Amino acid sequence: MTATPPPAIRLDRLRKEFTGTPPVVAVDDVDLDVGQGEFFSMLGPSGSGKTTVLRMIAGFEEPTAGRIELDGEDVTRRQPYDRDVNTVFQDYALFPHMTVADNVEYGLLVKKVSRAERRTRVAEALEQVRLGDHGARRPSQLSGGQRQRVALARALVNRPRVLLLDEPLGALDLKLREQMQVELKAIQRDVGITFLFVTHDQEEALTLSDRIAVFNAGRIEQVGTAREVYESPRTAFVAGFVGTSNLLTGEAARTVVRRDGSFAIRPEKLVVTPVDGTAGAAAPGRPTATGVLEEVVYGGPTTRFVVQLDAGARLTALEQNSGSGSAGAALRRGDRVRLDWDPEHVIDVPETTSK
């Protein structure tokens, strides 16, 4: 019988208060388990406490209360160098006068690792980030994405069990960023170590992660796979932050959903049809709502429609421009339209979480 391994990271009622006027509760009693080898993301708006959690795990910030375990060991009071983690920041600084290989080797030199061991590990780390042939170059001879990979190699060379990444792609432009997301995921899969990744970009989190924790004001609102937090958000905050905020509340909810509460519907689940007499009725039993088209935004593969409902809410619908029977091409701002959807795609989202 094999015992289940302890989680790579366990946070137990982790708390951080910053003194000042007024004092700030940056991290509000967070509980979290991150599994061995997971690509785990902390997603949330600026100021929601993500960096502070990461800094406490790395040992750069002391918790006000709570406990941090790595591989089942309590490291809460340990020095940063005594924890088997490494951090990659957005503002990585490479030494410009040193070669790529020397940059990666530097940390091992400081730790007095033997020369032979250093060579092996530098070669291995460069290989892992697919820069095996670039060791002799200077940082200035690399592209932005390659420099980012050197920063990653500098962390991997220490062979940490956990890699902490704080918005590492934040400074890259969109194209490069998307390219690096694919690279990063592949590297993590190859290397097999646990990645704890911080981002405020919901698409990035959805693309990369095995699981995601959605942060709001120092607390975790939901933990789940990308599909779970997107398809089944548990709160209005998660529904709005992960994806387009299509919320029905109050009077609009009563009229459209015929129930009290707050509800979310994802844009791609809504079907837009012109209300001009030519359109057939929605299938029987399918809920509908009518309104006026406020915006039509053509986006290449998809078109986005913003509809001001007669019942009072504003909803966004997203349609594939597949060419066959799409209503989009014919619709204009100001047109009267009908939205319809499958009732099972209406998600109950309480406004507040109970603690």
3-state secondary structure of 43: strand
Q: For the chain, how big is the Rg over CA atoms in Å?
A: 24
- Exposure string (b/e) for 267-302, b if CB count within 10 Å is 16 or more? bebbbbbbeeeeeeeeeeeebebebebeebeeeeeb
Residue 74: both structure tokens together? 């309590």
Query: Among residues 18, 60, 95, 298, which is the contact residue for ligand ADP, using CB under 6 A?
Result: 18
Amino acid at the residue 260:
D
Total residues at interface with ligand ADP (CB under 6 A): 12
Using CB under 6 A as the binding rule, whether residue 46 contacts ligand ADP is answered as: yes
Closest separation between CB of residue 24 and ligand ADP, Å?
A: 5
The answer to whether residue 199 forms part of the interface with ligand ADP (CB under 6 A) is: no
Containing 271, the helix (H) or strand (E) segment is strand 271-274
Residue with smaller CB distance to ligand ADP, 20 or 96: 20
Smallest gap, in angstroms, from Cβ of residue 55 to ligand ADP? 7
- Any contact of residue 21 with ligand ADP (CB under 6 A)? no
Q: Which does 18 bind (CB under 5 to 8 A by kind): Mg ion, ligand ADP, none?
A: ligand ADP
Map the footprint of Mg ion across residues 10-69, applying CB under 5 A.
51
Nearest alpha carbon to residue 248 among 305, 295, 316: 316
Nearest residue to Mg ion, by Cβ distance, number only? 51
Binds ligand ADP (CB under 6 A): choice among 26, 68, 226, 349:
26
Among positions 12, 15, 17, 24, the unique one binding ligand ADP when judged by CB under 6 A: 24
Question: Binding to ligand ADP by residue 49, rule CB under 6 A?
Answer: yes
Helix residue ranges per DSSP H, the chain: 50-58, 100-110, 115-128, 144-156, 174-191, 202-208, 226-231, 236-241, 250-256
- Give the shortest CB-233-to-Mg ion separation in angstroms: 22
Pairing of strands 271-274, 288-299: unpaired
Query: Looking only at residues 51 through 90 of this chain, which bind ligand ADP when binding is defined by CB under 6 A?
Result: 51-52
For the bound state, the minimum distance from the C-beta of residue 44 to Mg ion, rounded and expressed in Å, comes to: 9
Distance CA 266, CA 101 (A): 47
Residues that bind Mg ion (CB under 5 A): 51
Residues that bind ligand ADP (CB under 6 A): 18, 20, 24, 26, 44, 46-52
